[in-house]
């Protein structure tokens, strides 16, 4: 009976370990996919803002505002998770971030249970850094829109602003890459 008990306990432990290994991998994959949506939307928003800067086409301004909502949604989810916000609001943030609805519970679970683990804690820090840069991009975008509407931007100023957009975008790329690592 002892060998049978050992086999049963071993099998139970193996099932337990496999379950959580798969759960952690699945949750991690959800975050990597989420970062992909975040990054793509940020790149699209930056492209639309740059185009708007030079063409004054209001459709590009509208597209900028639409695309920037993706990283803002994820930011809201991150802040909700850090501040013990309502799960429904956290999930709304993740949905705005174009994350798959089937992944939301796993994303919340991983964050709550691993936020103090060094590799995940570093990812959260990088996520926060990227969010701060997104905020700079939004502020710059609003300034571009204000000056575009009032026709205050000449070509030289547009080139300076373009440099600012490119600088923010380059910093964002670094933060996004670090998050994925």
Q: What is the pLDDT of residues 62-106, one digit of tens each?
A: 999 999 999 999 999 999 999 999 999 999 999 999 999 999 999
- Give the per-residue pLDDT at 102: 94
pTM of the entire structure? 0.87
- Give the per-residue pLDDT at 138: 98
Distance CA 15, CA 12 (A): 5
Instruction: List pLDDT tens digits, range 114-162.
Output: 999 998 899 999 999 999 999 999 999 999 999 999 999 999 999 999 9
Place of tokens 């989420």: 34
Ordered DSSP codes for 69-138: HHHHHHHHHHHHHHTT--HHHHHHHHHHTT--GGGHHHHHHHHHHHTTSHHHHHHHHHHHHHHHHHHHHH
């Amino acid at each position: 009976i002892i060998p049978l008990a050992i086999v049963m306990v071993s099998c139970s432990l193996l099932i337990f370990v496999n379950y959580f290994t798969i759960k952690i991998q699945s949750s991690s994959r959800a975050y990597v996919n989420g970062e992909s949506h975040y990054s793509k939307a940020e790149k699209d928003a930056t492209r639309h803002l740059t185009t708007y800067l030079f063409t004054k086409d209001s459709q590009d301004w509208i597209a900028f505002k639409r695309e920037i909502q993706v990283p803002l949604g994820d930011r809201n989810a991150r802040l909700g998770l850090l501040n013990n916000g309502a799960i429904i609001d956290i999930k709304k943030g993740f949905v705005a971030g174009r994350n798959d609805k089937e992944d939301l519970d796993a994303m919340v679970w991983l964050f709550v249970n691993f936020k103090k683990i060094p590799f995940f804690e570093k990812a959260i820090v990088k996520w926060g850094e990227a969010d701060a840069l997104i905020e700079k991009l939004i502020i710059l975008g609003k300034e571009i829109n204000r000056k575009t509407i009032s026709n205050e931007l000449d070509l030289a100023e547009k080139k300076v602003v373009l440099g600012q957009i490119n600088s923010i975008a380059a910093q964002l790329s670094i933060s996004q890459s670090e998050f994925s690592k």
